[in-house]
Structure 1
Amino acid sequence: MTTVKKREEMDPQYQWKLEDIFATEKAWDEEFEKAKSMLPQFQAYQGKLNNAQDIFECFKLDDQLSMHLERLYVYANMRLHQNMANTKYQALAEKARKLNVEANEALSFINPEILALSNEKLDQLIADPQLAEYKHSLEEMKRSKAHILSQAEEAIMAQVGNISSASSNIFGMLNNADMKFPKVKNERGEEVELTHGTYIQFLESKNRDVRREAFGAMYRTYSSLKNTLGATFSANINKNLFMTKVRKYNSALEMYLYGDNVPTSVYNNLIETIHEHLPLMYRYMELRKKLLGIEELHMYDLFAPLVEEFDMNISYDKAQDIIAESLKPLGNDYLSVLQQGFKDGWIDVYENEGKRSGAYSWGAYGTHPYVLLNHKDNLNSMFTLTHEMGHALHSYYSDEAQTYRNAQYPIFLAEVASTLNEALLMDHLLKNSTDPKEKLYLLTYYADQFRTTVFRQTMFAEFEKIVHERSEQGESLTPEEYSAIYYDLNKLYYGDGVVVDEDIAMEWARIPHFYTSFYVYKYATGFSAATSFSKQILEEGAPAVERYLGFLKSGGSDYPIEILKRAGVDMSSPEPIEQAMSVFKELIEQMEELVK
């Protein structure tokens, strides 16, 4: 067994260079003091934010402070992520966090003062050339004004905020701390405790008895607590209905989509278009049944490996070469930035003792982005690398092209660039694969991404829509009704070729995302938008690449739907989802060819 190395034993060429943010810790301390000294300067603008000059100066000061705070916070936390046990960086990260809290208090007067202005005055400010770079910020403020309450009411709502997170907190405690699962037998016949972490491993077992037993044990546990879980979920829906009414929205769905300025038609359109393409899912389920060599496909068979694990040993350096080759369709400019990222200390590659798990892309405006990995020499890690570099290059292009405020892109757009990179990598691997076994392994890997990211997340999104609509119509839903709705959706999405086991009816009770309401649809729209981009880039070439780079450079300078539309992906129409479905159809056809 190999022991994980300590940080100081790692090869520096595979570590990120945080010195590009702050050359020394003394420089961090100096910037901290500088940021702290800026806080009193905001008092000069309090009560004066009613004209272009004062608003411009205040916004400029706000941007300068925010850039300092971001650099301080990002640097301290990324140092900490190198080794979470490092008390020096724990203290530094806490120091940065506290300064952010102080800053939020010092700046808290800005939004209410501007929102207190009349719509006519706001229109004048939006049109004022002096405030041109803040046009989108001011438009956003004016747009939100319809749902802002009086000062006294907002103060009450702030207090309600503490109560409104109760259902999510209770679910989190119940799900992660108090819920105990029984022991189940693994492939070797040993009794092993079932946990959230081991559940998916059991479902991926080649032994069908192991999958069946883990599946049943998981949902029997949830079922034994169905009344508590039902009451917790209902409390979350009731909180949403309360907020909807108080904030004067037409529905909870509209309220949650309002922040991104996404019309509810986009959400409904996703569900409708996926419904039209459910026969593709049914075809994929038939293929699953054939590949597994079973007469009946059950819900516990959906994660079972379809082909023998194909051992793709890919070193980090080889992964970089394959990724660069796969991203050639994006043009020389993109590739040169990618190589810069690979070579110039953007990436912290390997696991070391105490290092934060997982992977992310992060950074601060004014310095290049960074990527944290825990790289293993396998296919998954290569996909993680191209995914995170997609995020990194999105940030790089946004920061280069936009002012600080307009560079921050919203969550609705965040997964597009990363998923596009994955789509191009998969296309490259499939085109260059000569081994039928390897090709089938890649095809099943990709097809399962469509199943889990597009179909499954859309099914989740539809479940949320149904339960909220029925609650808005005055129905009081019981755990049995949640289960019936959820069971029927599984029947619809998986078709008659799958035995939809009764146990799956309780799955709604274990999805944490349901407590971040109307969020999961973004996975499906992001994946569809990325797949649409990749199809256009591979088929059209240069014009599509130009549009895509325009998307990367737009940051958050406009509303997400508009940014995508200008780049050739209109999420208000079914087309991007249909293009994604055409890619899924091609995958299924290739798989059918290989398993004749």
Structure 2
Amino acid sequence: MTALTITLTGISAPFIPYSTQAVMAAAENAPVYKTRAEIPAEYKWKLEHIYSTTKEWEQDVEKVEKLANEFTKHQGKLGNSVQSLLQALEDYTAMMRINDKAYVYANMALDVNSGNSELQKLSDRVEKMYTLVSEKTAWVQPEIVSIPDDKMKGFLAAKELAPYKVFLEDMLRTKPYSLSKEMEELLAKSSPLGNSPANIYGMLSKDVKFPKIKDENGKEVQLTRANFVSLLESKDQRVRKEVFEVYYKALTGFQDSFAQTLGAKVKADNFYAGARKYNSALEASLTPNNIPTSVYNELIDTVNEHLPLMHRYIALKKKMLGVKELHMYDIYVPIVPSDDKYIPYEDGKKMVVDGLKAMGDEYGKVLAEGMQNGWVDVYSTDDKRTGAYQWGAFDTHPYVLLNYQGTLDDVFTIAHEMGHAMQSYYTNKKQPYISSNYPTFTAEVASTMNETLLFKSMYANAKTKQEKMFLLNQYLENFRSTLFRQTQFAEFEKAIHEKEQAGESLNAEAIKKIYLDLNKKYYGKDMVSDEEIAMEWARVSHFFNYRYYVYQYSTSFAASQALAKQVLDEGKPAVDRIRTNFLEAGNSAPPIEVLKAAGVDMSTSKPIEQAMEIFEETLNELEKLVNEK
């Protein structure tokens, strides 16, 4: 029952899949810092804005633990009266606000200085605090759900509980699927079994060993999970083919183990859904988040209707690469040469601020001041966490972690993470704590909207045909890797759950056939769906770690395209509507309603269709430039 605000961009694809060669070229000019102490203060986030000393942090940790132990005084009393429930929720809110602040401080401090033993102790300390809070509040939702319907109806109508109405309704939504106390305890005790496939997958993935291969210069390189995609960017098709074949050959050697693991995960999903009387694991996954299953199904159906557009794009890639046959190992090769010049961070910041001018002066002012005043941690060191994310608590300003190397991809990452930061800023400014934690379904919309606005601005100012072609292709690649590819994953996930629910076997050959057939459908006749790609599911960790999660990448992307278009077409009225009804909304209403109020109705197929129109317009433009004499 925690409300910790966290948005980690590590789970989503960056806007421009810039080539590794470009990263290396730009990085040659990037500043290099061996230790954190070497980095100028203006390029480090200011955690002292949260706590000026570790002693202050320790005092809050002790306070949270005291409040957690005292919180059990409310157990058994939540249904007594409006006042009893209100007092418990107010105490919960007060405790969690301090909990969140202490938690993010300790973990962010360690993320930028992981080799510091004192910070490791802080992280361990705060994890124990967080576990205690979880244990001491675990009884709350079952007790609220057990309150008789008539009494709860009166509670929800009470003026005093109005700030907590959505919070309570989110809990009560699963009441029809709640079981007896004894059954709930039994399912809770069995949950480690349901989590076992994810743990097994993690260990199994480490057991797969890959051979060395020769790169385009004839140098031996150890193939790993980490460098697999970068090696597929090689301009030498021999390298790409060899990397692709030996990688999937290694996975195929463990195909039965991977299949048994995935099959166990699917069985667990279906078992828990059935035990709670859901019609399917899909319904069990979406209902708690107040998302109709029709949203999932309409996404798949609408993308399927527009697959001919994807096939046109694949045909264009084949033409531009000049290959007789286009294979799956050719998919990552850039088809338009890129400008690998280094972009200093100050220039990157300016590009983002200028590129987001369509969001208005007030948005731009907060954006610029945030990047100037301790929100962002910019440069890498050996003991800094990789990747990028935005995090923070209700009582802190947003914080953004980067590992900036000066590529155009890094500039778009700034726009992406600051999109998260601005949503958190506006939400925390407008909403009370209890409704400030915006859900996953809307979490990636603001970030990808920023990326789209930046792309549109850059394209409008592009000077050369080459620059325009490069930007158009990367925009199309984002459609391919997000809207199409993640929907392909969503369709695969649905197919394997339905197959198991029907009592059919999920052996390796069955899973591979489902995946290969979908790959052929999505990529079309101009792509050779090499038989090795049938094992790609074994390298997609989301299938093993989550349940019906990936579809949200596609829906968020489609929603962001619609909102970006409204900003550019309507100007201030759209900006005001999006800020008021979306950026400031948090979790004050169901996510579908929040987006609808902002101007995009995800309960219909219209946003997906509009995104496909934008994809077609972009494809037309690139084809036109390619065919120009």
The question of 1:210 aligning with 2:226 is answered no
The question of 1:556 aligning with 2:583 is answered no
User: Partners of 1:545 and 1:352 in 2: how far apart?
Assistant: 38
Q: Which moved more, 1:157-166 or 1:393-402?
A: 157-166
User: Which residue in the other structure is 1:226 paired with?
Assistant: 255
User: Partners of 1:511 and 1:40 in 2: how far apart?
Assistant: 41
Letter matched to residue 442 of structure 2:
L
The question of 1:272 aligning with 2:298 is answered no
Aligned pair count reads: 595
The question of 1:190 aligning with 2:219 is answered yes
User: Partners of 1:412 and 1:312 in 2: how far apart?
Assistant: 36
User: Which residue in the other structure is 1:113 paired with?
Assistant: 143
User: Partners of 1:41 and 1:477 in 2: how far apart?
Assistant: 49
CA offset digits 1:129-188 (Å, max 9, x no partner) = 11000001111222111122222111111111111111111111111x100112222111
User: Which residue in the other structure is 2:109 paired with?
Assistant: 79
User: Partners of 1:580 and 1:347 in 2: how far apart?
Assistant: 31
User: Which residue in the other structure is 2:407 paired with?
Assistant: 378
- Does the residue aligned with 2:390 lie in a helix, a strand or coil? strand
The question of 1:454 aligning with 2:478 is answered no
CA offset digits 1:534-579 (Å, max 9, x no partner) = 1111112222212211201000111111111111111111111111
The question of 1:142 aligning with 2:176 is answered no
Unaligned 5+ residue runs, structure 2?
1-27
Q: Which moved more, 1:37-46 or 1:92-101?
A: 37-46
1:341 Cα shift?
A: 0.7
User: Partners of 1:508 and 1:33 in 2: how far apart?
Assistant: 45
User: Partners of 1:377 and 1:469 in 2: how far apart?
Assistant: 46
User: Which residue in the other structure is 1:437 paired with?
Assistant: 466
User: Partners of 1:221 and 1:356 in 2: how far apart?
Assistant: 29
1:3 Cα shift?
A: 5.4
1:450 Cα shift?
A: 0.6
1:201 Cα shift?
A: 1.2
CA offset digits 1:17-40 (Å, max 9, x no partner) = 111111222221222232222234
User: Partners of 2:517 and 2:131 in 1: how far apart?
Assistant: 46
1:18-97 to structure 2, matched below 5 A, reads: 18-50=47-79, 51-97=81-127
1:520 Cα shift?
A: 0.7
Q: Which moved more, 1:473-482 or 1:125-134?
A: 473-482
1:208 Cα shift?
A: 0.5
User: Partners of 1:328 and 1:194 in 2: how far apart?
Assistant: 43
CA offset digits 1:279-317 (Å, max 9, x no partner) = 111111111011111121111111111122322432111
Please give the TM-score of this superposition, normalised by the length of structure 1. Answer: 0.98
User: Which residue in the other structure is 2:551 paired with?
Assistant: 521
User: Which residue in the other structure is 2:339 paired with?
Assistant: 310
The question of 1:579 aligning with 2:610 is answered yes
Please give the TM-score of this superposition, normalised by the length of structure 2. Answer: 0.93
Greater relative CO, 1 or 2 (CA 8 Å, sep 6+): 2
Unaligned 5+ residue runs, structure 1?
none
The 8 Å contact of residues 436 and 586 in structure 2, kept in 1 or not, is answered as: yes
Q: Which moved more, 1:308-317 or 1:490-499?
A: 308-317
User: Which residue in the other structure is 1:283 paired with?
Assistant: 312
User: Partners of 2:322 and 2:379 in 1: how far apart?
Assistant: 39
Letter matched to residue 599 of structure 2:
G
User: Partners of 1:38 and 1:98 in 2: how far apart?
Assistant: 14
The 8 Å contact of residues 52 and 125 in structure 1, kept in 2 or not, is answered as: yes
Letter matched to residue 372 of structure 2:
K
User: Which residue in the other structure is 2:185 paired with?
Assistant: 155
Letter matched to residue 574 of structure 1:
S
- Does the residue aligned with 2:173 lie in a helix, a strand or coil? helix
1:356-371 to structure 2, matched below 5 A, reads: 356-371=385-400
Letter matched to residue 48 of structure 2:
E
The 8 Å contact of residues 233 and 332 in structure 2, kept in 1 or not, is answered as: yes
1:589 Cα shift?
A: 1.3
CA offset digits 1:353-409 (Å, max 9, x no partner) = 411111111111122111111111110110111100000000000101101010000
User: Partners of 1:308 and 1:330 in 2: how far apart?
Assistant: 31
Structure 1 residues 81 and 477: alpha-carbon distance in aligned structure 2, compared to 1, 3 A threshold: closer
The 8 Å contact of residues 404 and 410 in structure 2, kept in 1 or not, is answered as: yes
1:240 Cα shift?
A: 1.0
Letter matched to residue 531 of structure 1:
Q
1:445 Cα shift?
A: 1.4
The 8 Å contact of residues 577 and 598 in structure 2, kept in 1 or not, is answered as: yes
CA offset digits 1:486-514 (Å, max 9, x no partner) = 11111111111111111111212221111
Percentage of matched positions with identical amino acids: 45
The question of 1:329 aligning with 2:329 is answered no
- Does the residue aligned with 2:400 lie in a helix, a strand or coil? strand
User: Partners of 1:504 and 1:9 in 2: how far apart?
Assistant: 45
User: Which residue in the other structure is 2:132 paired with?
Assistant: 102
Q: Which moved more, 1:46-55 or 1:304-313?
A: 304-313
Structure 1 residues 509 and 352: alpha-carbon distance in aligned structure 2, compared to 1, 3 A threshold: closer
User: Which residue in the other structure is 1:349 paired with?
Assistant: 378
The question of 1:9 aligning with 2:21 is answered no
Structure 1 residues 594 and 227: alpha-carbon distance in aligned structure 2, compared to 1, 3 A threshold: same
CA offset digits 1:75-133 (Å, max 9, x no partner) = 11111112101111111111111111112222233222222211111111111111000
User: Partners of 1:105 and 1:502 in 2: how far apart?
Assistant: 48
The 8 Å contact of residues 449 and 560 in structure 2, kept in 1 or not, is answered as: yes
User: Which residue in the other structure is 2:5 paired with?
Assistant: none
User: Partners of 1:522 and 1:365 in 2: how far apart?
Assistant: 24
User: Partners of 1:324 and 1:506 in 2: how far apart?
Assistant: 42
The question of 1:416 aligning with 2:445 is answered yes
1:167-186 to structure 2, matched below 5 A, reads: 167-175=197-205, 177-186=206-215
User: Partners of 1:511 and 1:289 in 2: how far apart?
Assistant: 26
The structure 1 residue matched to 2:269, chosen from 222, 225, 240, is 240
* Runs of 4+ with deviation above 6 angstroms: none
The 8 Å contact of residues 469 and 625 in structure 2, kept in 1 or not, is answered as: yes
User: Which residue in the other structure is 1:128 paired with?
Assistant: 158
